[in-house]
Amino acid sequence: MRIGIIIETKEYEKAWNAMRLAVTAKKRGHEVKVFLMGEGVVIENIADEHFDISSQIKAFHEAGGKILACGTCLQSRNLDGTAACPISTMNDCVDMVEWADKVITL
């Protein structure tokens, strides 16, 4: 199955669970893409002692997952894309939605 996950939150536990879902789906053989939007574009930069989001992002990339980040949302926060989360557009988000069999938004 092809799964698209849109993350719009910077809440530690929700973002951590979203990335855990992405990692687990990849490990079970699904194709998974993640699109960061709104305040979700900052999840790569947040840290919490109980919810290690950065390790889940790393595990997702190691499993072959792809993360895209909304360029407009990054720019409004004076952030740049990174190697792990390159700048993308709404067209990329629409492409992911059209590609996916299921889309989950958190």
Write out pLDDT tens, residues 14-40. Answer: 999 999 999 999 999 999 999 999 999
Please state which architecture CATH assigns to domain 2-105.
3-Layer(aba) Sandwich (3.40)
pLDDT, tens digit (0-9, with 9 covering 90-100), for 36-74: 999 999 988 888 889 999 999 999 999 999 899 999 999
Q: How far apart are CA 40 and CA 2, in angstroms?
A: 21
Q: What is the pLDDT of residues 97-106, one digit of tens each?
A: 999 999 999 9
In one-letter notation, the amino acid at residue 40 is: G
Q: Name the nearest CA neighbour of 89 among 27, 36, 23.
A: 36
First to last CA, the chain: 19
Asked if residue 85 has pLDDT above 80, the reply is: no
What is the structure's pLDDT at 9? 95
Supply the mean pLDDT for the chain.
93
Q: What is the pLDDT at residue 103?
A: 98
The two tokens of residue 92 are 């990329």
Q: Tell me the whole-structure pTM to 2 decimals.
A: 0.92
